[in-house]
Each structure stands twice: as C-alpha cells, then as structure tokens.
Structure 1
Amino acid sequence: MNALVALCHFCELHGPRTLFCTEALHPPSPSPPQPGQSISGERERDVDREGEGLTMRAHSSATQRADMCEGCRSLPASHPGFVSVDNETGIRFLSHQHPRQPQLFSVVRQACVRSLSCEVCPGREGPIFFGDEQHGFVFSHTFFIKDSLARGFQRWYSIVMVAMDRIYLINSWPFLLRHLRLTIQSLQSTALKASHQISATHP
C-alpha cells in the first residue's frame, strides 16, 4: 500500500464510520504473450480476472460490519465495489466502503475514529497530520456539511489519506490540501443547495 484515501462520517447513532475508500493496486510484472495473442488483449483479460477477484474480496470485507444504519452505509452489502484502471500506468484502483484486506480495515478504522474524535484542529474544520510507524501516518481534513434533517442542522465528515511513508505524505501536503479543499467546497455547495430546496418545500 502506497496510500489509501477514505471518506469518513460521524454517524449520530453509531459514531465514526468509514463511508468509502479507494486503494491503489499496482500491476504485477507483465508475462510474455501467448502465440497469436496481442499484449493488449492479454492485459485486458488479466484486469478482468483480477477485478472479479478484488471485488469479491471487497464484498467479503464489507459484510464484516453489520451495525450500520442507512446514514453510515454508502453501498448495499451485496455491492461488489468498483475497479478502475489508469491506462497510462496500469495501476488499478479498488473502491468500496471498506478496504479489502483485514489489516487495512483496522488501520483505516483507527484513522477514521481519530480524525473525527480527538485529532482535530481549532474550530474542528481543517487539515491535520498524525500517526505512527505501527498504524500508519494520516493526512486528515475535517469539515461540516449542512443538513436540515440532522442534529444541529449539519453533519461532520473527514477525508483521510493513510500511508506508511511519513515523508511521502508530508511532501504531498500542498497537493492534497489544494485538491481536497476543492472537493470539500463542491460537496458543501451542493449540500447547501439541497438544504435550501428542502426548506422551501417544507416551510
């Protein structure tokens, strides 16, 4: 694992929960093509086969968590997840509510809890860095989203990036901060519009 990105949410019923995560899966060394078979065709079949296996393992990880309500589940329990491929690098990305590996499940779970309970900056919104060699290092950005149906009319989220390489994560800080802020601003703007529409229809 170079790094793993996750969206976390503080559920009013169950506390901190991971809603969605994406991890990079680097391709194995290429094997020579069979006679009469193109390299691209072999690569596509490899991706298809491995994608099927990855989504099945992701489904197995997701079913470990039964104590979820509608507000802290992003995908149905039967959903296999998503596999996307960067054609330039050959790197595959697996996305699901939880990581496919049990050890990563524990690491992301701890990062989620810490990002929404104790490792927060003044005002509770903004970026922060924490972690250690054992559980990995975390870049976390917490934020609120308006919700007229929530307690206090807002919900608390965080986007975390988890990596074992502290230097890599620190060097990525400016890039991460810039793009996460754009993502968060887009989410907040969309939620604010939806909240205004709900208020208008339910005076």
Structure 2
Amino acid sequence: MNAIIGVGQFCEIHGPCLVFCTQTIVEINNEPIDEFELDDNTEHSRLLHTCEGCTSIGIGQALISKDHESDQVSYISTQTPRKKLLRQSLKQACVRSLSCEIGGNSKSNDDCTMCYCDGDQGGHTVLCYTWRIPDAKARGFDRCLIIVLLMKDRFMLMSVWPFFIKHIEELVKQLQAKAKEVCEIEQSNGNNKGARIQSGCAPSCAPRSLAYLTGLPTIWNLLHTRFSWILHSAPKILREVPPPRYSSSLIDSQANRNSILKDTSFRDLHSKLSDDNFIAVCHCVTTGIQVVFRGDESEGAQYIQLLSVLLPPGKCFTTYSSTYLLPSECSLLAVGFGIALPKTCADVFRIDMLKTEWVVRWDGCVPEKANKLCSSILKAVLNEKINSATLRAHIQSIILKWQNTAGTLNMAGSSSINNKTLLRTLGVGDEDLHFVSYWATCLQKINNR
C-alpha cells in the first residue's frame, strides 16, 4: 500500500514534531534498496531537533524489511521522510492534531481522538490517531502522541481506516500499559507526584524518549515491524462486494417492482384518499403494518402491486386471496367483501373500496412528523408540474435512496442505528429511525438465511 505511517509527539522544548515513520518503497529498474539516500549531511538533517524526546533511530539510519511476496517492494523506517512535501504534510498534521484539534476527552490515557487533514499542498490526506502515555516527569504527568496515516488516495484511506484503527488501538494499549508500569516504578522511587502538584513547579529534566517511557529499548524495531505488516496487509482486505440488498435474486425482484410503476400511479391512489390517509397507508407499508384492500379483485390487485415497491426485501404480498392471511404471512393483501377480517385495530390498516368512496379503518396513528420517504412521495404527487413519466422515475429514485441507506446500516452492524454521526451523515432523522431500522432488520434476516 502506497502510504506512510508515522509517530509524532508534543515535545516540551520543540513543540509538535515527527519522530518516526514507515513508508512503502517500490524499486524501479531493479535499483538496490540499500542505495536509498540516507546521508546526514543535508540541510534537512541539520534542522532536525536533537533532544532525546525528538529522536528515534537517529539521523541517517533506517530499518528496512523486504516484502516476501514481491521482490520490488520494501518497507523502510526513518526518523523523517526524505521528500520535502511528505515532511511538510506530516509536520502540518502533527501541529494540527497535537495543538489545535485535540478532542476534549483526549486528556484521559484510555481515550483517543481522530483528526482529519485534507487538501494540503502536496495533495495528501492524513488521518491522525491522538493518544497519551503517562510520564512522571512531564507537564501534566503524561505525554501526548499521535500515529498518522498519510495517503494520496482519499477513498483508499477511508476504506482501510477501520483495519488500521483496529490494530493501532491494540498497539497503543500495549504501549500505555508498559508506560504505566514505568511511571509507577518512578513514583515509588521518590518522584512524588503530590509534592509536584502542591509546589506548582515544572519539571527540570529534558524530554525523554518513547523507548525510555515504555521501558522498551527495541520499541522502534517493534513499531517498524507493526507498521510494515499493516502496510503489507491493508490492501488485502479491500475487495469488491455488492451490498446484500442487491444479490441477483433481489435485483430481479426490484426490476419487476419498478416495472409495476409503469402501469399504476401513486396519483391514482392519492385521488382515492385524503393527504392524511395517503401518508398513513405509506407509513404502514414501510413500517411493517399489514395493509388490506377489501373490494373488487382487479382494483385491489392493482393497488397492492403499486404499494409493493415500498416493501423491504423479503416481505410478501398477495394480489388476491380467498381467505385472510396473518400479518406474519403477508404484508399486503387484497380480499373480497365476503371475507371475514379482524376487528379494527392498530396492527391492520384496512381500506374498504366502496363504489362511492373508500373507507379507511385503522386504530393506529401516524407520528406527528412523517418519515422522509412518505413525505417525499406525497410532495412529488402533489407537484402538478411533474408529469407521470418523471414522477415514476422520481419515486423510484426516492425508494432506491432509502433502500441503500438501510443496506448501509445493515452492513455497519446492529449498533449502527445508535450511531448518531453515521445517521446524520446518511440523512436519517428521528422520524426515519423506525422504518429504516425495520428495513435493515429485514435485510439482516435475508443475509442470515
């Protein structure tokens, strides 16, 4: 993966700085990787900070690992990247994430925050993972660090971020545990934390390296190994997987449903009902409440087919039945006048299609604010400037949008319905939660079959 993973820290003398980075190097024209430029006589090397806290493996030194699957790919770790644009991008990420964009909960050793930096002069996108480790002699008794992932391909970066964060969190927890042990030993040996707080005096010692704070002399070798493995493994997790909503059978089913809209119209249905009842019947179909049309067989079948496009995948409908079917067996049902039906209740929305008028029988109620799917369909139906062909296409696009939203929530897992950030990104409001979670649940049942 063509990316850079780096470690930065907030030095109490020099401020935010990068101390270690690992990047992928692809050999061109079979040039040996050993000839990678690492001389320490450049202007850049003279400008590097030289305190212990800002030093890792040293100027002009490198750790190199060969990719066993490709002879032309290697992973090299240095104190800073050799290219000027990369150094500037990582430096800017360190400054932003370690000084001005730290979350309010980052003071805790167990909590971490993320910083997103995009659109720098090099065209790079950077995601930063900010964390802290205890340091008995630092201001505030802890040290602020970051692990950054830099890449030019923004979409690739966002795709591998869950994989990256999973393994970085494991690494961070290990380093925090080691640093906590070292800190406790220092405090037990006379470094009185309480006396320092009471006196208000800042520590007089110079910043100490990450190797000292964690008690791991080989920590840079450890980081090189972990980062190299992440750069090697991350691309393997990316594969083209169609959303569960669009398996081949579901695609055929959706195509059949969309063709139904060519023969019937939501405007015809709306002309038979008031605005409130139109919203109510759409609400019932989208939230799993059974809708029953009682009356003429052909007329009932026509509107059952029309409303079936609002059903989530896996739900059944019957254009005509000689007996009543339970809601668990059929979500949409058309029957004749002679068929016995349950008494009026909130679980069954019944429409009696009389010759003079339609009579709605339902004890339930629609929320004060209807979900966006139903309200968008009603708004389109009421817009007289939209002709029939455009209306069909528009309603199809509305339905497809919410099908994709439900599919995204299903793929994100059962806890995604409580993820306010994800819901806000997808445009899901409080009024939409009920029907979107219902659709996502139906998709999950199909996946588990």
TM (norm. structure 2) is 0.38
Q: Unpaired segments of 5 or more residues in structure 2?
A: 107-111, 192-449
1:170 aligns with 2:158: yes
Q: 2:51 aligns with which of 54, 69, 82?
A: 69
Q: Secondary structure at the match of 1:56?
A: coil
Aligned partner letter, 2:177: S
The answer on 1:201 being equivalent to 2:189 is yes
**Compared with structure 1, are the counterparts of its residues 84 and 50 closer, same or farther at alpha carbon in structure 2 (3 Å cutoff)?**
same
Q: Show structure 1 runs of 4+ deviating over 4 A.
A: 57-62
Does the CA-based 8 Å contact 2:89-2:120 persist in structure 1? no
Matched, 1:118 2:100: yes
CA RMSD of aligned residues (A): 2.2
Aligned to 2:63: 82
Secondary structure of the structure 2 residue equivalent to 1:132 = coil
Contact 1:58 1:99 in 2 (8 A): no
CA distance in 1, matches of 2:102, 2:176: 19
Counterpart CA distance in 2 for 1:58 and 1:140 is 28
Q: Which runs of 5+ in 1 are unaligned?
A: 31-45
Taking a change above 3 Å as real, the CA distance of residues 83 and 189 of structure 1, as seen in their structure-2 partners, is: same
State the shift of 1:195 in Å. Answer: 0.7
Report how far residue 28 of structure 1 moved: 2.9
Q: 1:7 to 1:66 in 2, by over 3 A?
A: closer
Report SS of the residue matched to 2:157.
Answer: helix
The amino acid of 1:2's aligned partner reads N
Structure (1 or 2) with the larger CA radius of gyration: 2
1:58/1:96 contact within 8 Å kept: no
Alignment of 1:129-148 (within 5 A): 129-132=116-119, 134-135=121-122, 136-148=124-136
Matched AA of 1:147: D
Report the Cα distance in structure 1 between the residues aligned to 2:80 and 2:3, rounded to whole angstroms: 14
Q: Quick check: which one's helix share is greater? A: 2
Structure 2 letter corresponding to 1:10:
F
Q: Which has the higher strand share?
A: 1
Give the direction of change, closer, same or farther, for the CA distance of 1:129–1:94 in structure 2 (3 Å limit): same
Q: How does 1:147-166 map to 2 (within 5 A)?
A: 147-166=135-154
CA distance in 1, matches of 2:40, 2:6: 14
Q: Aligned residues: percent identity?
A: 31
Distance 1:26 1:188 in 2: 34
Q: Is the 8 A contact 2:49 2:55 kept in 1?
A: no
CA offsets 1:146-200 (integer angstroms, 9 cap, x no match): 0101111100000001111110111111101101111111110010011111122
Report 1 or 2 for greater relative contact order, CA contacts < 8 Å, sequence distance ≥ 6. Answer: 1
Q: Which amino acid aligns with 1:16?
A: P
